[in-house]
Amino acid sequence: MSRDKKAVLEMAFRQIVGEGFVISDKETQKPYECDGLSMYCEESMLVVLPGTVDQLKEVIRLCRIHEVPVVTRGAGTGLSAGAMPAPDGIVLSTARLNKIIAIDEKARTARVQPGVRNISISEAAGRYGLYYAPDPSSQIACSIGGNVAENSGGVHCLKYGLTVHNVQKAELILVDGTEITLGGDGLDVPGFDLLALIIGSEGLLGVVTEITVRLLPRPESVQVVMAAFDDVTQAADAVGSIIAAGIIPAGLEMMDRYAISAAEDFCSAGYPKDAEALLLCEIDGSESEVHEHCARVAELFKTHAATSIRISASEEERTLLWKGRKSAFPAVGRISPDYYCMDGTIPRSKLAAVLTAMSEMSDHFGLRVANVFHAGDGNLHPLILFDNSVPGEFERAEAFGASILELCVSVGGCITGEHGVGMEKIRQMPIQFSDSEIALFHELKHCFDPAGLLNPGKGVPLLKHCQEYRAARQFA
């Protein structure tokens, strides 16, 4: 990027978005260098923060004319380096597009700008007794635009679905300036389901400028049943038995020994630290239904040899029991200088085998691993503990992570359940997809962004690299 071009663009962007909303100096750009995966860092040419959708469109228009790469950024909490800048491009921040435009109480929807924080939607809908169901653990910070881009989930997605199940309509702008509406006011729209295609497309196809989400009525009652096990297989089987009994819990989470003890030290939720596995099962619905199902779940835990069972007796107790799980990441962060969060999915029946294999890998790589698991839907988050200040440790953690992803695919799962491919897992794409499938992904991208200006180099690997990766694995 020539200095002149940067200066010209900087001036032009300032004219569009206002003096204070273009960041060009290194120091102020610092927070934009990475997302939640801070090991992946890059400096961008400029950071631009439009205050209106019209300004955003103007910014995109200039980028198209000058062929400047665009990396859209929500809150930067992503965990796959999806929002990591392109060195010769701009970071297009949606931080100022943070208005809740309208809440339609009757249709139970909320129309919001992309920079609105996930939790703000439920806060605003609360006055109508409604809420937005998908609740990533990062919900106090992450943006709904980022959620759409990653198809984010949360602890409640077994029952209430992922982002894709809870978005009704979105406005999208393509790099060539085309504006399209995806979805509609009704439930189904004739034609290809472009809304589904955009959700989870990691900012590679267009910029989402407005989103209409569905809201749900708050359940009358919510309770959580916690159970400890001294055997992981028993815990996994207990999960299967709840589902086989026809109960779909609102949330169903598992933690392994490391995660339990880290979480307990962090927030004293009352977790039994000697347990091999801990299950948290949340039931919601009407008063009587919750009562009935909690009793049933506790019974099933007992038959699967739970060593202790606790049913929340109050809202405070429920919050406390969840607190440990919700703060598992920072808790693990306390027992290790750094950690690397993976995101594979597996069929639940393979859990015990996967955990055993993982502990062997842990010995092999000489790094500890703690596991939290969305047990209901088979989404595993191994947290690899390492020390970035020790030369070579991050590389070892990455290699360990790659092996975990390969393991997930080999048992019938996939390389990412909710964090996305981004920059981080791009090398592992060829384990899950054939060359023809990857070629089709490139063609799909080409339909939306022929110049390849959006999030260049992310999400889908070049075919050349796939072949190299496969060859390297053969000889590994």
Partner 1 sequence: MPDITSQLLEQVLEARLERRCLQIVGGGSKEHYGRPSRGSKIELSGHQGIISYQPDELVLTVRCGTRIEVIQALLAEKNQMLASDPPQYNGAATIGGSVACNDSGPGRPWTGSIRDSVLGIQLITGKGDKLQFGGRVMKNVAGYDVSRLQCGAMGCMGIVSEVSLKVMPRPAHSLTMKLEINSHIDALEHMSLLARSAYPISGNCWIDGIQYVRFEGAYSAVEKAAKDYARLFPDANELRDGSSFWGSVRDHHHSFFRSSRRLWRLSIHPTAQYSELEPGLIDWSGAQRWIPGEHNMTEMVAALSPIGGNASLIKGGIGEEDVFHPMDEGSQRLHVALKSKFDPDRIFNPGRMYSWL
Ligand X SMILES: Cc1cc2nc3c(=O)[nH]c(=O)nc-3n(C[C@H](O)[C@H](O)[C@H](O)COP(=O)(O)OP(=O)(O)OC[C@H]3O[C@@H](n4cnc5c(N)ncnc54)[C@H](O)[C@@H]3O)c2cc1C
Closest distance of CB 330 from partner 1, Å: 23
Which residue from 441, 444, 411 is spatially nearest to 426, judged by alpha carbons?
441
Contact partner at residue 82 from ligand X, partner 1, none, CB < 5 to 8 Å by partner kind:
ligand X
Distances (CA, A) of 386 to 79, 334, 344, 395, 424: 17, 12, 19, 10, 17
Contact partner at residue 190 from partner 1, ligand X, none, CB < 5 to 8 Å by partner kind:
partner 1
Provide CB contacts within 8 A for 78, sequence distance 6+.
Answer: 35, 36, 37, 146, 150, 419, 420, 422
Closest distance of CB 209 from ligand X, Å: 7
Q: Count residues contacting ligand X (CB under 6 A)? A: 36
Spatial separation of the C-alpha atoms in residues 62 and 25, rounded to whole Å: 20
Contact partner at residue 448 from partner 1, ligand X, none, CB < 5 to 8 Å by partner kind:
partner 1
Candidate list 111, 169, 293, 419; residue touching ligand X; CB under 6 A: 419
Segment lying near ligand X (by CB under 6 A), choices 72-80, 228-236, 244-252, 316-324: 72-80
Provide CB contacts within 8 A for 425, sequence distance 6+.
Answer: 80, 405, 415, 416
Closest distance of CB 458 from ligand X, Å: 7
Nearer to ligand X, 162 or 235 (CB): 162
CB 88 within 8 A of CB 69: yes
| Cα atoms in the Cβ-side hemisphere of radius 13 Å centred on 24 | 14
Closest residue by beta carbon to ligand X: 146
Which residue blocks in 327-427 are alpha helix, DSSP H?
Answer: 328-335, 351-365, 393-410
CB 405 within 8 A of CB 398: no
- Cα–chain center distance at 109: 22
Candidate list 58, 202, 264, 393; residue touching ligand X; CB under 6 A: 202
Closest distance of CB 289 from partner 1, Å: 4
Contacts (CB under 6 A) with ligand X, residues 20-49? 35-36
Which residue from 301, 277, 235, 306 is spatially nearest to 370, judged by alpha carbons?
277
CB 41 within 8 A of CB 34: yes
Closest distance of CB 1 from partner 1, Å: 29
Give, as one character, the DSSP assignment of residue 84: P
Closest distance of CB 440 from ligand X, Å: 20
Candidate list 112, 207, 294, 369; residue touching ligand X; CB under 6 A: 207
Residues written for the chain: 476
Contacts (CB under 6 A) with ligand X, residues 112-151? 114, 136-138, 142-143, 145-147, 149-150
Element holding 262 (H helix, E strand): helix 257-267
Does position 329 interact with ligand X (CB under 6 A)? The reply is: yes
Closest distance of CB 22 from partner 1, Å: 29
Closest distance of CB 313 from partner 1, Å: 20
Does position 109 interact with ligand X (CB under 6 A)? The reply is: no
Candidate list 69, 85, 200, 203; residue touching ligand X; CB under 6 A: 203
Which residue from 229, 226, 329, 307 is spatially nearest to 269, judged by alpha carbons?
226
22-41 core/surface letters (b: 16 or more CB in 10 A; e: else): bbbeeeebeebbbbbbeebe
Vertex 52: Cα angle to 49 and 56 (nearest 5):
60
Closest distance of CB 346 from partner 1, Å: 7
Tokens for 312? 């929340």
Binding mask 147-186 toward ligand X (x if CB under 6 A, else -) reads: x-xx-xxx--------------------------------
Phi, psi of 227 (to 5 degrees): -140, 145
Nearer to partner 1, 366 or 457 (CB): 457
Contact partner at residue 324 from partner 1, ligand X, none, CB < 5 to 8 Å by partner kind:
none
Contact partner at residue 94 from ligand X, partner 1, none, CB < 5 to 8 Å by partner kind:
ligand X
Closest distance of CB 246 from partner 1, Å: 4
Contact partner at residue 95 from ligand X, partner 1, none, CB < 5 to 8 Å by partner kind:
none
CA dihedral 131, 135, 138, 140 (to 10 degrees): 10
Q: Which residues bind ligand X (CB under 6 A)?
A: 35-36, 71-79, 82-83, 94, 114, 136-138, 142-143, 145-147, 149-150, 152-154, 202-203, 207-208, 329, 418-419, 455
